[in-house]
C-alpha cells in the first residue's frame, strides 16, 4: 500500500463519522474487502507514516496537553494525530506548536483530563490493531499469522530502505530531549500550546 492509498482511507473514515470506534469499523470493513497483502500493507504504511512524528518536541507537546506521556501514551497520541488527517498530521509533524490550531486540541484547553470524554482523548491506540483484525477475519488465521506476515513484509521493506540509504525509525526520538512540563522551556519551544495548557494544568495529571 502506498501513502496516497493509506491517506485516502484515513480521510474516508473521517468523512463518515467522528466516533473513533465507528471509524475503526469503517476502516476494518474496507480493508477486509482487499487482498491480504493490502491489509498487511496498511499497517506497514501506518508505521512508515508515523516515523516523522517520533521527536522529543512532539513528545513534549503530548506531555503538555495530556499532563504526562509514557512510551505507550505517546504512541497512541501519534496514532490519534494520524486520525486528524494528512494536512494536520504533516503540519504538526513539522511544527508541534501547530497543535494549538487544531480544534480538537483547543476544546481540551482549560479542562482537566479527568473531565474529557473518551472520544475527546487524543489517543487512538486501536488504529494499530485494525489491520490485524481485518486479516484474521479474512483469512481465518490467528494473530500470530498476521504478525508473521507483517514482520516478513517489514523486514523486506527495511532491507529496501537500507539499500536506498534511508534510516528506519530510531530507538530514540529525534532532537533534544526536554521536559514538556517545564513552563520556561514550553514558553520558548511551544509558545502557543504552552499558553493553552499552562503548568498548573500539566501538573494535574491524566487519567
What are φ and ψ of residue 55, in 5° steps?
-135, 155
pLDDT band for 204, please (50, 70, 90 cuts).
Answer: very low
Using DSSP's 3-state secondary structure scheme, residue 31 falls into helix
Q: What is the 3-state secondary structure (H, E, C) of 124-174?
A: CHHHHHHHHHHHHHHHCCCHHHHHHHHHHHHHHHHHHHHHCCCCCCCCCCE
Mean pLDDT taken over the chain: 89
**Averaging pLDDT over each range in 12-21, 68-77, 86-95, 166-175, which range is the top one?**
86-95
Assigned C-alpha cell, 92: 504538526
Assigned C-alpha cell, 143: 494473530
Q: Is 89 exposed, middle or buried (0-12, 13-18, 19+ CB in 10 A)?
A: buried
- In this prediction the pTM is 0.89
Amino acid at each position: 500500500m502506498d501513502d496516497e492509498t493509506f491517506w485516502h482511507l484515513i480521510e474516508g473514515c473521517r468523512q463518515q463519522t467522528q466516533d473513533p470506534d465507528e471509524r475503526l469499523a469503517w476502516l476494518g470493513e474496507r480493508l477486509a474487502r482487499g487482498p491480504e497483502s493490502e491489509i498487511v500493507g496498511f499497517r506497514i504504511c501506518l508505521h512508515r507514516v508515523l516515523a516523522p512524528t517520533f521527536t522529543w518536541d512532539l513528545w513534549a507537546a503530548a506531555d503538555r496537553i495530556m499532563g504526562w506521556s509514557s512510551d505507550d501514551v505517546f504512541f497512541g497520541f501519534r496514532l490519534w494525530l494520524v486520525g486528524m488527517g494528512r494536512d494536520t498530521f504533516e503540519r504538526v509533524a513539522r511544527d508541534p506548536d501547530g497543535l494549538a490550531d487544531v480544534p480538537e486540541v483547543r476544546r481540551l484547553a482549560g479542562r482537566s483530563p479527568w473531565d474529557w470524554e473518551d472520544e475527546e482523548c487524543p489517543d487512538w491506540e486501536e488504529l494499530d490493531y485494525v489491520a490485524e483484525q481485518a486479516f484474521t477475519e479474512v483469512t481465518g488465521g490467528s494473530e500470530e499469522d498476521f504478525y508473521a506476515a507483517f514482520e516478513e513484509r517489514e523486514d523486506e521493506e527495511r532491507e529496501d530502505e537500507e539499500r536506498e540509504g534511508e534510516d528506519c525509525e530510531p530507538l530514540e526520538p529525534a532532537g533534544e530531549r526536554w521536559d514538556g512540563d517545564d513552563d520556561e522551556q514550553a514558553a520558548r519551544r511551544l509558545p502557543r500550546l504552552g499558553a493553552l495548557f499552562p503548568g498548573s494544568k500539566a501538573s494535574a495529571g491524566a487519567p
